[in-house]
Structure 1
Amino acid sequence: MSSLRMPQGFVKQLNGESADAALRHEIVEEQAAALGRMGRKAEAALAALRAHEGEGRAQVLKAAADAVWCFLVQREVLGLRDRAAIVAQFDIPREVMIRLGAK
């Protein structure tokens, strides 16, 4: 992650609260972007799993479980703990759910 230090000239123009608010806003933007990236990665992995049959499915299943696990952890870090809604929205199959976190 890159440094979030504001230019000193800009900081001098703002009072402490405004600088704090700007930093908080940038952090929230980055959190939302990271969650979006993880969600898209989970969706892509689940789509690949649905399209894959036969040999090599175990590898695709593992990739889907890993992507979903990362997405759910990212959500929990942000305080979004309703897994049931995500499982339903993403139509996450049971075979993925039982592998979450397994290494």
Structure 2
Amino acid sequence: MSLRPPSRYSGDALAGRSSSGGLNPLDHEIAGEKAASLGRAGARVERALRRLGEAGKESPQRPALLRDAADAVYVYFIQRELCGMRRHNDAIRDYAIPAEVLARLGSM
């Protein structure tokens, strides 16, 4: 006697495809959470870079602000990679990430 698993455990269902060819609801929700997380990380980058820009070159808070900006950019880059975006050139240009921040990430 052979057993066949229920259709919800079929290869297509486990791969995230429904029988109609679209994403199943869980995959849709995961994609939404990825997008929301990427948006929050981008907002954090904007805030950190704005604070860094507002501080003068000789500001005593500059090292801490530089570290915060580098941390925010690092988290943003990781989140982009988790969403499948491997190249960061556009993000570097769009956010105008300074070279001194990128140097702290080891990307220069």
Q: Kindly state the Cα deviation for residue 96 of structure 1 after the two structures are TM-superposed.
A: 0.2
In structure 2, the partner of 1:98 is 103
Output the CA distance in 2 between the equivalents of 1:34 and 1:81.
Answer: 16
TM (norm. structure 1) is 0.77
Output the CA distance in 1 between the equivalents of 2:54 and 2:29.
Answer: 38
In structure 2, the partner of 1:12 is none
In structure 2, the partner of 1:69 is 74
Output the CA distance in 1 between the equivalents of 2:95 and 2:42.
Answer: 9
Which structure 1 segments of 5+ residues have no match?
1-15
Name the SS for the 2:105 alignment partner. coil
1:29 equivalent in alignment to 2:35: no
Q: Deviations over 1:37-94 (max 9, x none)?
A: 0000011100110001211100000000000010001101111012111110000000
In structure 1, the partner of 2:10 is none
In structure 2, the partner of 1:45 is 48
In structure 2, the partner of 1:83 is 88
Amino-acid identity (%):
41
Output the CA distance in 2 between the equivalents of 1:84 and 1:91.
Answer: 10
The structure whose residues are more often helix, as a share, is 1
More relative contact order, 1 or 2 (CA 8 Å, 6+ apart): 1
TM (norm. structure 2) is 0.74
Task: Output the amino acid matched with 1:99.
Answer: R
Name the SS for the 2:92 alignment partner. helix
Output the CA distance in 2 between the equivalents of 1:86 and 1:80.
Answer: 10
Which structure 2 segments of 5+ residues have no match?
1-12
Task: Output the amino acid matched with 1:86.
Answer: A
